[in-house]
């Protein structure tokens, strides 16, 4: 009998990425309420800033003009006051969600890391926002509010999706994605959000900021098209979630300073940043979920017949 050489075997081990399905209904409900809360707070904050209503309650915080319920003399007071009410409601929902997640902290290491990242982003956002009300904070620092808020929103969405998810789901549906393009999209999205926000905080047009904002928008649109084309060629699935990014260079001309216009822009920004974060995290998830080790079976010491 011809001796057969031992062949290597790829062994794949699946690690739990999501909270296990059992007993997660309460966590899922808390997560949904929290996600709705962060969307409402971010949207209202976007409208608050773009309509110049940030000082609608004066420099008093957490009170509004020294009162719990102020006189709603103008639109700025209403917008700022609603923004603060939504923030309080969101903090309460977030506390319930984090407590529920903490009780299941031993079930998912990835979920715990996402939780820490979310808390860090929200604390940073709160510190900057509060400082902006109490003091004259430079525009370069205040500009971080937009990307931080949208990235926190994206992370919370991923956490919500991970709740009750089959740990093998990403492994079964994973496709080879051009991660260099995705990484570029992530960087360009951050640059686009940051410099766009910075421009909104300065009182006059700054040519260098406008140039960076415009160029990043053009590159963002081209990168999104490149990614969509590369996905279409693979035939692995139709991943067209980044199509809205094609409009990035034209968004500045749509800014109107009205509540309805600001809401449309915010929805667009949320979609683009959320999809990028979701696709980028897919790579991290599969890398942690799948560990391939090359194992060779032991060679028998008995002579072959």
Catalytic residues: 80
Rounded-to-integer distance, Cα 91 and Cα 129, Å? 15
Rounded-to-integer distance, Cα 219 and Cα 279, Å? 18
How many degrees, rounded to 5, is the angle at CA 185 between CA 233 and CA 94? Answer: 120
Q: Is 178 left (phi over 0), alpha (psi -120 to 50) or beta?
A: beta
Rounded-to-integer distance, Cα 79 and Cα 230, Å? 44
Residue 232: CA count within 13 A, CB half-sphere: 10
Spatial CA neighbour of 141 closest among 125, 117, 122, 154: 125
Rounded-to-integer distance, Cα 89 and Cα 145, Å? 19
Structure token pair of residue 282 = 């897919």
The contacts of residue 265 (CB under 8 Å, 6+ apart) are 46, 251, 254, 255
Q: What is the 3-state secondary structure (H, E, C) of 236-281?
A: CCCCCCCHHHHHHHHHHHHCCCCHHHHHHHHHHHHHHHHHHHHHHH
Which ranges of the chain would DSSP assign to H, the alpha helix?
25-50, 75-103, 109-134, 139-142, 145-162, 169-173, 179-201, 207-234, 259-289
DSSP 206: -
């Amino acid at each position: 009998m011809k001796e057969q050489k031992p062949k290597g075997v790829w062994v794949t081990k699946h690690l739990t990425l999501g909270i296990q399905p059992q007993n997660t209904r309460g966590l899922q409900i808390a997560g949904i309420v929290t996600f709705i809360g962060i969307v409402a707070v971010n949207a209202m904050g976007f409208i608050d800033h773009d309509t110049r209503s940030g000082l609608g309650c004066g420099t008093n915080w957490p009170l509004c003009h020294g009162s719990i319920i102020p006189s709603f003399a103008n639109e700025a007071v209403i917008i700022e006051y609603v923004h603060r009410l939504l923030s309080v409601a969101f903090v309460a929902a977030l506390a319930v969600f984090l407590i529920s997640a903490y009780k299941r902290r031993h079930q998912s290491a990835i979920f715990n890391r996402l939780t820490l990242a979310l808390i860090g982003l929200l604390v940073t956002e709160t510190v900057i926002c509060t400082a902006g009300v109490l003091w004259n904070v430079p525009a370069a620092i205040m500009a971080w509010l937009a990307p931080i808020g949208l990235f926190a929103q994206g992370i919370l969405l991923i956490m919500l999706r991970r709740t009750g998810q089959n740990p093998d789901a990403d492994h079964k549906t994973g496709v080879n994605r051009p991660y260099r393009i995705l990484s570029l999209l992530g960087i360009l999205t951050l640059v686009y959000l940051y410099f766009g926000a910075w421009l909104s905080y300065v009182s006059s047009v700054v040519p260098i900021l406008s140039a960076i904002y415009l160029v990043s928008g053009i590159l963002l649109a081209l990168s999104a098209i490149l990614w969509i084309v590369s996905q279409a060629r693979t035939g692995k699935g139709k991943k067209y979630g980044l199509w809205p990014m094609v409009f990035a260079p034209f968004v500045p001309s749509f800014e109107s300073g009205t509540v309805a216009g600001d809401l449309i822009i915010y929805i667009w920004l949320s979609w683009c940043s959320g999809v990028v974060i979701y696709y980028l995290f897919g790579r991290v998830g599969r890398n942690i979920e799948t560990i391939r080790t090359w194992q060779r079976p032991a060679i028998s010491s008995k002579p072959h017949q």
